Copies of this chain bind each other. A is one copy, B any other.
Amino acid sequence: MRIGVLTSGGDCPGLNAVIRSVVHRGVVDHGDEIIGFEDGWRGLLEGVHRPLTLDSVSGILAQGGTILGSSRVQPSHLRDGVERAKQHCADLGIDAVIPIGGEGTLKAAKLMSDAGLPVVGVPKTIDNDIACTDVTFGFDTAVSVATEALDRLKTTAESHQRVMVVEVMGRHTGWIALNAGMAAGAHAIIVPERPFHIDKLTEVVRERFDRQKKFAIVVCAEGAKPEPGTMPWEEGTKDMYGHERFTGIATQLSRELEHRLGKEARPVILGHTQRGGTPTAYDRVLATRFGWHAVEAAHKGAFGHITALQGTEIKLVPLGEAVAELKTVPAERYREAETVI
């Protein structure tokens, strides 16, 4: 077969491991030819590509980023480009396309698939918010990076007798906050799925200081929000470039906690370090397995599916199911964590 592969959306540790796995399994097991489209969907729409051989993927397993580049393309641009994509594939003799990406990418993959392109998707997101798969690669690395940072911040918080409010990634879901918070023993965890009440959070922290503890760590997902009307909230103002000034959740929360508790509080925004760099062993294994199964699916003609981890096995799930809804943190998991406010 001739298989095209592309990576789309934000950076995510494990992308190169998938690419490598697709090339290894395709070339070695099936004698396939693998073609890489450059810079995500753009490469498919504009026909920019290059051959991927065993040599091209040598040494990339543990590398962060993607050797194929990525980009974000407007959905409208994608809709208009379906016919061009099909034409490029026909011209190149492509028998299967493996897009690796997050929710947006998989929606685009569904669009392409519905239009007749032979697609097998590989889900990717550090946020772990794709339904149908127990977990996505990149998530374990993000949680590990956040946990290491939290481990470090604890000693400083304790030495300085402070509240640290640490913002981790997660615009719509709190998976990273939940797992990093649990792993690091955070004293409160705030997630987007459940608007928090500032009074309750203040009580949790105050009660801790009352027990003679010298510090507190609050982990919040970047998309977390207070219950409307329960705490002052400063809308972003524009700076001289027209950008909104940063007034994120961690900053506002730390100011308010400092004000209420009379204890020093500091915001820390972990930011992009969570989404780049070498993947953990866990993510490399998962990404490699996804790549292997995507190639197998292509050879079985199981198009219109994505690979998904269910228990210990990789299954194929229809694209439609995969993008139907966001996987949010269920209430049961809050109870286990106990510290989700």
Please report A residues at the B interface, Cβ cutoff 8 Å: 7, 10-11, 13, 15, 20, 24-25, 28-29, 61-66, 69-71, 134-135, 140, 143-149, 151-161, 164, 179-180, 182-185, 214, 232, 234, 239-241, 243, 245-247, 251, 255-256, 258-259, 266, 268-273, 275-278, 280-282, 284-285, 288-289, 292-293, 310-314, 332, 336, 338
Is there an interface contact between B64 and A155, defined as CB atoms closer than 8 Å?
yes
Give the residue of B232, B276, B312, B336 whose beta carbon is less than 8 angstroms from that of A289.
Answer: B336
Give the residue of B25, B61, B277, B336 whose beta carbon is less than 8 angstroms from that of A155.
Answer: B277
Residues of B within 8 A of A180 (CB): 281
Alpha-carbon distance A155/B241, docked complex (angstroms): 27
* A-B contacts, 24 listed (Cβ < 8 Å): A11-B160, A20-B185, A28-B338, A29-B338, A61-B183, A65-B158, A66-B159, A69-B214, A140-B281, A144-B281, A147-B281, A148-B277, A152-B273, A152-B276, A152-B278, A156-B272, A179-B281, A180-B281, A234-B239, A241-B259, A245-B245, A268-B272, A269-B269, A292-B336
Q: Given A11-B159, A155-B64, A240-B234, are A271 and B273 neighbors across the interface (CB < 8 Å)?
A: no
Is there an interface contact between A155 and B63, defined as CB atoms closer than 8 Å?
yes
Is there an interface contact between A11 and B282, defined as CB atoms closer than 8 Å?
no
Alpha-carbon distance A276/B259, docked complex (angstroms): 25
Is there an interface contact between A246 and B246, defined as CB atoms closer than 8 Å?
yes
Is there an interface contact between A275 and B183, defined as CB atoms closer than 8 Å?
no
Alpha-carbon distance A284/B184, docked complex (angstroms): 8
- Give A325 Cβ to nearest chain B Cβ, in Å: 16
Alpha-carbon distance A70/B152, docked complex (angstroms): 17
Give the residue of B28, B159, B240, B284 whose beta carbon is less than 8 angstroms from that of A147.
Answer: B284
Residue of B nearest to A64 (CB): B155
Residues of B within 8 A of A278 (CB): 151-152
Is there an interface contact between A280 and B144, defined as CB atoms closer than 8 Å?
yes
Residue of B nearest to A314 (CB): B336
Residues of B within 8 A of A269 (CB): 269, 271
Alpha-carbon distance A154/B284, docked complex (angstroms): 16
Residues of B within 8 A of A66 (CB): 159
Residues of B within 8 A of A310 (CB): 311
Q: Given A239-B234, A246-B246, are A69 and B156 neighbors across the interface (CB < 8 Å)?
A: no
Alpha-carbon distance A38/B338, docked complex (angstroms): 28
Residues of B within 8 A of A182 (CB): 284-285, 288-289
Is there an interface contact between A164 and B272, defined as CB atoms closer than 8 Å?
yes
